[in-house]
């Protein structure tokens, strides 16, 4: 099977990581996989070195990786022509758009094969009226969480398949962590955007470090992620005990170094970084918002706190890091929770969907000839 996935750009966001991981899994299973980015990373404010690393990794895994280099996202005709040229070379059996932006040029390119759309969030990033067009182009939608499925049900007029996100096996820890350590590293991972609400983590950092200092401990609080709002966050972080690492290609190594994972988002779809953290055996402190609630069970693999509440976030982090027996139990719970999210299972579910859609498009076989004449009156 030839599978073409489309993203906005090659960046370290969760959707993009999932697409590249799936492409590797497809290629490893003997399929022809290609990932097309609509724009270069620099054209949309993302890190070119991360783009280069992701493209190189996809190619090393046996998949094609290319960018259409579209500078103007509203140039639908130019985008359609560039996309059509790329699809002519790839000759896909199925196309999976992981960005709603891809559907407009796809509508003009008229690929003639099944089209799937995954919306990777529990909120819409486009007007609901756009579904009038999407429903004409899309053969099936994919929801990455229960909340995303509920959202799509309100607008989609084509089948919706629930396929949970997954993370690369390179994050998998073999054993749970037994203790938080004297001077823990606290890690947040994700694109720097309003959705991630990193200012709440900045405001929680000082009371946390002061409470740990009272125990004779120190903490390293790190945010790994880039994006158009990175410089603004860096200006806000001046004087706070937080390290901004920027976009990183070694998140798996950072997870192994870390002692606690934190997510302070205002909303989510189903964060890949949180799955990676659970696979790494990290207890998780996260905001009680859609997506996060489906991953974190309080007292089992982490803690949930109200969004935009620095005091509650700092207290939950402190409590998790201050009780070794509780910490160890949460680490074991994280590893158990992560078992649901294997990239192999996720890839198999996608391949099953593609096969069904391809089969549905094939012409029906002619009915077998009748063994005797049939009267019109019968």
pLDDT at 377 over 80: no
- 154 and 202 share one domain: no
374 lies in some domain = no
- Domain of 97? 2-166+342-361
- 162 and 182 share one domain: no
260 lies in some domain = yes
**φ/ψ bin of 114: left (φ > 0), alpha (ψ from -120 to 50), beta (otherwise):** beta
- 319 and 256 share one domain: yes
What pLDDT does 349 receive? 98
375 lies in some domain = no
Mean pLDDT across 42-49: 88
**pTM summary value:** 0.88
What pLDDT does 156 receive? 95
- 183 and 272 share one domain: yes
- 220 and 149 share one domain: no
pLDDT tens digits along 282-311: 999 999 998 999 999 999 999 999 999 999
- 186 and 296 share one domain: yes
Residue 236 Cα to chain centre, angstroms? 26
Q: How far apart are CA 27 and CA 31, in angstroms?
A: 5
pLDDT at 374 over 60: no
DSSP single-letter state for residue 298? B
- 107 and 249 share one domain: no
Phi, psi of 246 (to 5 degrees): 75, -175
- 217 and 327 share one domain: yes
305 lies in some domain = yes
Q: How far apart are CA 117 and CA 350, in angstroms?
A: 12
Among the listed ranges 170-174, 347-351, 364-368, which one has the minimum average pLDDT value? Answer: 364-368
366 lies in some domain = no
- 240 and 106 share one domain: no
Looking at the chain, the whole-number percentage of residues with pLDDT higher than 70 is: 96
Q: Report which of 286, 9, 343, 14 is spatially closest to residue 163, judged by C-alpha positions.
A: 343
* Spatial strand order in the sheet of 185-189: 242-246, 220-224, 185-189, 260-263, 284-287, 302-305
pLDDT at 281 over 90: yes
* Total domains in the fold of the chain: 2
- 184 and 332 share one domain: yes
What pLDDT does 365 receive? 42
What pLDDT does 228 receive? 80
126 lies in some domain = yes
Using pLDDT thresholds of 50, 70 and 90, give the confidence band for residue 378: very low
What pLDDT does 142 receive? 98
The CATH code of the domain that includes 88 is: 3.40.50.2000
Q: How far apart are CA 313 and CA 300, in angstroms?
A: 17
40 lies in some domain = yes
Q: Mean pLDDT score of the chain, rounded to an integer?
A: 92
What pLDDT does 273 receive? 95
- 187 and 282 share one domain: yes
Q: How far apart are CA 350 and CA 275, in angstroms?
A: 18
- 129 and 199 share one domain: no
What pLDDT does 12 receive? 83
What pLDDT does 373 receive? 41
134 lies in some domain = yes
């Amino acid at each position: 099977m030839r599978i073409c996935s489309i993203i906005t750009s090659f960046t370290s966001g969760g959707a993009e990581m999932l697409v590249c991981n799936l492409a590797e899994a497809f290629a490893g299973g003997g399929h022809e996989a290609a990932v097309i980015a609509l724009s270069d990373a620099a054209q949309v404010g993302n890190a070119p070195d991360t783009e280069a690393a992701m493209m190189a990794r996809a190619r090393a895994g046996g998949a094609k990786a290319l960018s259409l280099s579209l500078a103007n996202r509203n140039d639908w005709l130019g985008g359609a022509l560039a996309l059509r040229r790329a699809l002519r070379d790839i000759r896909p059996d199925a196309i999976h758009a992981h960005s709603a932006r891809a559907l407009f040029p796809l509508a003009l390119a008229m690929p003639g094969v099944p089209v799937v759309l995954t919306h990777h969030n529990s909120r819409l990033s486009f007007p609901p009226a756009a579904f009038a067009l999407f429903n004409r182009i899309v053969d099936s939608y994919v929801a990455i969480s229960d909340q995303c499925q509920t959202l799509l049900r309100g607008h989609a007029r084509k089948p919706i398949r629930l396929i949970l996100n997954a993370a690369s096996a390179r994050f998998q820890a073999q054993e749970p962590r037994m203790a938080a350590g004297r001077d823990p590293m606290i890690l947040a991972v994700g694109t720097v955007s309003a959705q991630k609400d990193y200012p709440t983590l900045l405001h929680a950092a000082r009371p946390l470090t002061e409470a740990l200092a009272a125990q004779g401990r120190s903490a390293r609080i790190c945010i790994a992620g880039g994006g158009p709002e990175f410089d603004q966050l860096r200006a806000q972080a001046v004087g706070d005990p937080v390290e901004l690492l920027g976009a990183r290609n070694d998140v798996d190594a950072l997870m192994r170094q870390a002692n606690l994972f934190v997510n302070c988002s205002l909303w989510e779809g189903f964060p890949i970084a949180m799955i990676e953290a659970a696979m790494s055996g990290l207890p998780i402190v996260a905001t009680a918002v859609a997506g996060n609630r489906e991953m974190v069970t309080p007292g089992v693999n982490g803690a949930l706190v109200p969004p935009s509440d620095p005091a509650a976030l700092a207290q939950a982090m402190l409590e998790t890091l201050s009780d070794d027996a509780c910490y160890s139990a949460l680490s074991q719970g994280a590893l158990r929770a992560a078992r649901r999210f294997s990239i192999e299972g996720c890839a198999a579910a996608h391949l099953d969907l593609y096969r069904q859609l391809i089969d549905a498009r094939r012409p029906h076989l002619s009915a077998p000839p009748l063994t005797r004449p049939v009267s019109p009156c019968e």
